[in-house]
Chain A
Amino acid sequence: MFSRILIANRGEIALRIIRACRELGIETVVVYSEADRGSYYLELADEAICIGPASPAQSYLNIPAIISAAEVADVEAIHPGYGFLAENAHFAEICRDCGITFIGPRPESMKMLGDKVAARKLAQEAHVPVVPGSEDQLKDENEAIKLANKIGYPVIVKAAAGGGGRGMRVAHNDITLRNAMATAKAEAEAAFKDGTIYLEKYIIEPRHVEVQVMADKAGNTLHFFERDCSIQRRHQKLIEESPCPVLDEHTREELCKAAIKLIKEAKYESAATVEFLLDKNKKFYFIEVNTRIQVEHPVTEMVTGRDLIKMQLQVAGGQNINLKQRDIVHTGVAIECRINAEDPARNFAPCPGKIEKFILPGGMGVRVDTHIFQGATVTPYYDSMIAKLIVHRPTRDEAITTMRRALREFKIEPLKTTISVCERILSHSLYLQNKVDTSFIEQHIV
C-alpha cells in the first residue's frame, strides 16, 4: 500500500480521495490553483501545494507543474480523479516514465478504449453487441450515405476522439448527412484536434445504462452492477440511479457479462465504466468505455456497500481484489442528484458567487459528497457541479420520497442551483412510472 500519494484534482472528488486515503493510512498531497485557495478540503490533506493560477491549462491540466509537485512532495502515486488528466494517456505515460504510479489503467488500455472507433472494434471482436454502424472511420461521403441507407435513418455522426456530447450530429436523410459529416468533423477538429468520424444508427429515445467494472493487476475483473443515467441534459447527466428500474434479471446478467468481457479484452486494471444504450425492446448496444472513476460512483457504492476509491488505491498499490463475483450483491435502490450552480430559468447558465447560506440535508439514507462550505466562493473557472446528493433506501418509492425530503432541506443561497429542477423531475409522473429516456428533460422539463 502506498504511504503517500498526490491528488491531481480539485473539489468534491479531491475530498473523496482524501477521505479514502485517510482511512487507509495513506498520506495525501493535494494540488490546487489560486482560485481554490482557502477551500476547506485543502486543510484535510496532509499537504497542499499551489501549482498555478486559476486557468485549468496552467493548473489542473499543467502536467509539468503536477509532476514537479509530485517530485518535491516525494509521492509514490498520483490519483487523477475524473475529468482533467484522468483519461490522458500521455500523462499516464509521463507518470510511468517518472517512476510515479498512475492510479488508473495502463496507458495502452486507456488508448485502446479511449478511441471510440477502436473500442467499437474491440467490442465486436468480443461479441459484445454494438450499435449498427461503420466498421471503421468514415472515409468519404459516398461511403457514409451507402451505409446510412443500409442501416436505416436516422443516423448519428460521431467523433472518434470525442466526449462530453461534442462532435456529434444526427442526420435524417442523405442531404442532412452530408452537412452533419462536415459539421461533426469541423467540431471534432477544433475540440479534440482529431477530425476522425464514424457513423452509428441513432437509437431513438434510449435509456442510458452503464456497468461499473473494477479489475486488478492479476486480471481479476468484476462488475458492480449497473447504473441508469437516462436523466440527462445536453448529454450531461443530472440524475442517476441503481439498479436500472426496467431491467429483468436475464438482461442484467447479459449486460454485466458483456461489460466484463470487453474490459478483459483490453487487459485492463482499475475502475472502468462500460456504457450502453437500451432501446425500447430492451436490447442493449455498447457505445463507449470511460477509463476512469466516474462522478456517479457513489450510487454503486451505496447499493453494493463497496468503497470504489479504496479499491482503486488497493489495486494500484499491487493488492489483488480478494472477492469473487458472487460476493458482490446489491440491495435496495440508490439515487443521486447532481447539484450544479446553474440557473434553470436562464437555460442553466452557470451561477458563480459566494455562498452565504449552506445547510446540508441529513437523516436516514442520506449521503452528501461536497467540498462546499458556508462562505465558500464558487468560481467560474471550473465545472459548475458543487455537490452530489445521494440517497439509499430499500425500494425505489422510498428512495424517491427520501430524495424529495432531502432536496427540500438542502439550502444553498443566494446562488441558483439545480435543486429545484431535480425536485420537479422527482415529482414527474413519467419518472415515477419508469417511463423516461434520454430525451426526457428536453421534452418534459425545460
Chain B
Amino acid sequence: MGDEKKNDLKKVKELIELMLENDLVEVEIANGESKIHLKRPGHSQPQMPAVAPISVIAPAVPMPAVPAASAVHTQQPAQVKTEDNLVNITSPIVGTFYTAPSPDSEPYVKVGDHVTPDTVVCVVEAMKVMNEIKAETTGTIEKIMISNGQAVEFGQVLFKIKPD
C-alpha cells in the first residue's frame, strides 16, 4: 500500500476512534479539496453531545478570505437540550442573521413549521458569504430567538426546536 494511502487509512482509523470515544454519529471534515464523511450505522436521529466541536484539521496558514462554499462544513452547530426539553440551534459562526434568502422572499421557516436535519432554517452572512444553516435535528420550530438583520456571535442561540 502506498504511503499516502497508509496515511489516509490511519486518519480514518483515528477519526473512527474519536467518534466512538465521544459517541458521535456523523462526522464530516473538509480540508480544501479533500473531504472525509463518516457515519455510524444504527442511529436514525443524530444526537449531538452537548458542545463537543470536532477539531478540524486547521491549516497552520490562515484560511483564505472568502470561502466559496455556501454551506458551513467546518463545524457542526452545537445542540444543547435546554431545561424545557427543547433543542437549541446555535450559530457556528459570527455574522449577520437573516430569516430569508433575500429581502423579498418568504422566510425559510416560521414558528410551528416542522423541520428535518437538512432543512435550511436561516442564513448567517459572514464576509459577504451567505452561510445556510441547517436544522440538524427533527422537530418543530418553537421559538425564533433572533430578529432579521441582527448580528450574532459564535454559539448564540438562533432557534428553539421541540424535538419529535
A165 interface residue per 8 A CB criterion: no
- What residues on A are CB-neighbors of B151 within 8 Å? 49, 72-73
Query: 15 A-B Cβ contacts within 8 A?
Result: A49-B151, A53-B154, A55-B55, A55-B58, A63-B63, A64-B127, A65-B94, A67-B65, A68-B126, A68-B127, A69-B153, A85-B62, A88-B62, A90-B62, A193-B60
- What residues on B are CB-neighbors of A98 within 8 Å? 65, 127
Question: Are A58 and B65 neighbours in the complex by a CB distance under 8 Å?
Answer: no
- What residues on A are CB-neighbors of B126 within 8 Å? 64-65, 68, 71
Q: What residue in chain B is nearest A61 (Cβ atoms)?
A: B62
A258 interface residue per 8 A CB criterion: no
**CA A67 to CA B126, docked complex, whole Å:** 8
Contact of B94 among A55, A68, A193 (CB under 8 A): A68
Question: Are A51 and B75 neighbours in the complex by a CB distance under 8 Å?
Answer: no
- What residues on B are CB-neighbors of A50 within 8 Å? 94, 153-156
Interface residues on A, range: 20 to 34
**CA A357 to CA B5, docked complex, whole Å:** 53
Contact of B93 among A34, A68, A90, A94 (CB under 8 A): A68
The residues of A with any CB-CB pair to B shorter than 8 Å are 34, 49-53, 55, 57-59, 61-65, 67-69, 71-73, 85, 88, 90-91, 94, 97-98, 192-193
- What residues on B are CB-neighbors of A97 within 8 Å? 65
Looking at the assembled complex, report how far the CB atom of B52 sits from the nearest CB atom of chain A, in whole angstroms.
10
Contact of A57 among B58, B65, B67, B127 (CB under 8 A): B58
B96 interface residue per 8 A CB criterion: yes
**CA A72 to CA B65, docked complex, whole Å:** 16
Question: Are A65 and B154 neighbours in the complex by a CB distance under 8 Å?
Answer: yes
**CA A67 to CA B153, docked complex, whole Å:** 12
B50 interface residue per 8 A CB criterion: no
- What residues on B are CB-neighbors of A52 within 8 Å? 154
- What residues on B are CB-neighbors of A192 within 8 Å? 60
Looking at the assembled complex, report how far the CB atom of A60 sits from the nearest CB atom of chain B, in whole angstroms.
11
Within 8 A of A (CB), among B91-139: 93-96, 126-127
Q: What residue in chain A is nearest B65 (Cβ atoms)?
A: A94
- What residues on B are CB-neighbors of A49 within 8 Å? 94, 151, 153
